[in-house]
Structure 1
């Protein structure tokens, strides 16, 4: 765990007094997930793939030792789970409120839709199912981009005011610019927080990039983690083949967009 100690020392030297440890897998629901021993899947190593430890750095290290190399199971991974090979150690922040913000492509309306909610820190699927009235949706025309009145509508819908209101307007405009500039099909910030001094900050985020646009972003290749991808899909991509692995033992070979549907 030398790298863990180095990371902690680096944070301390930069004035960080409390930390959070996050398992890095391509799936949501990590905080409520369960980590199982890799070689004994019936034995729980530790509960939770994301933990806040305050200033207890030793406890954080013990937790990290239990997580690394073991399998994290969440509602998005399925029962097979995903092996945790990387941990993200970050500064823990105090905040007033957790919020949710997401931008994704709405293929039905041929527009981008921004979804926001005051119920941050909760899976948006859960909010949509249990309290759909708490989700704000704004459709953005790709031709005009996010307009000022739409940003204000989101801020009002989230109940923001004062410094937090002004900071959010800058935040959402920058987030939308990143969404477009990266050729993303989804950016989800959950939670987005209001700090004690009324700043808007992203504590966690998920980004889905359009593979068809990678020729415009040569630097994306350095971010690719093959350990998080299906080996068969990786092999197919080496031959410029589009392959999606499905459950079961029946395959489907098609020609042209949409024929497999």
Structure 2
């Protein structure tokens, strides 16, 4: 079963994984009220408007719009709801955008990639991270595979703290960012097992300026 970004983030919240938070709308009549709600609750003028479809590559297709003002956020929401979004994963036919996710805007310093899935050849779970976040991981695997760090986890034992630290170290994180990332990786694996997921992925996992 595929789920939307906003649904995945609700699951992450239940596992205490920090997220870029917001609200979903299906009708343009709810847009202005929701934009103002996000601005007030998360103390931000700027918001991000995101199309909710079951495909990656939304940003390149025009399905993710940074909106520094209320007016731009409203215009982007109007343009996005009902649009046919074409990405490298939808095929030429695209997908109709029936829901839009309006989130807080973050001051991003660096983007990373992280995911957990089953490595059938090893009969173990594999936790992958990369400094090349925000792009298609398939392209990273083809062009710069050395930038993907992998740790294999025995599902009968589960992830160990030293493995989570190895992943954070591989991303070059230090100080408080290192500690937070280690905790996030532990929680991600807990989520992966607890939901019986085939894959748990965060792309991008962001390091903020603060």
Give the TM-score taking structure 2 as reference length: 0.84
Q: Aligned equivalents of 1:60 and 1:13: distance in 2? A: 14
What does 1:53-202 correspond to in 2, within 5 Å?
53-54=67-68, 56-197=69-210
Q: Aligned equivalents of 1:194 and 1:75: distance in 2? A: 26
**Could you list the runs of 5+ residues in structure 1 that have no partner in the other structure?**
34-47, 198-261
Aligned pair 1:24/2:37, yes or no?
no
Q: Aligned equivalents of 1:90 and 1:67: distance in 2? A: 14
Q: Give the CA deviation at 1:17.
A: 2.1
Superposed CA RMSD in Å reads 1.0
The higher relative CO (CA closer than 8 Å, separation ≥ 6) is in: 2
Q: Give the CA deviation at 1:106.
A: 1.3
Which of structures 1 and 2 has the bigger CA Rg?
A: 1
Aligned pair 1:2/2:2, yes or no?
no
Q: Give the CA deviation at 1:21.
A: 0.5
Aligned residues: 182
Equivalent residues of 2:45, 2:70 under 8 A apart: no
Q: Aligned equivalents of 1:66 and 1:12: distance in 2? A: 20
**Could you list the runs of 5+ residues in structure 2 that have no partner in the other structure?**
1-27
Q: In structure 1, the residue corresponding to 2:198 is in which secondary structure?
A: strand
Give the TM-score taking structure 1 as reference length: 0.68
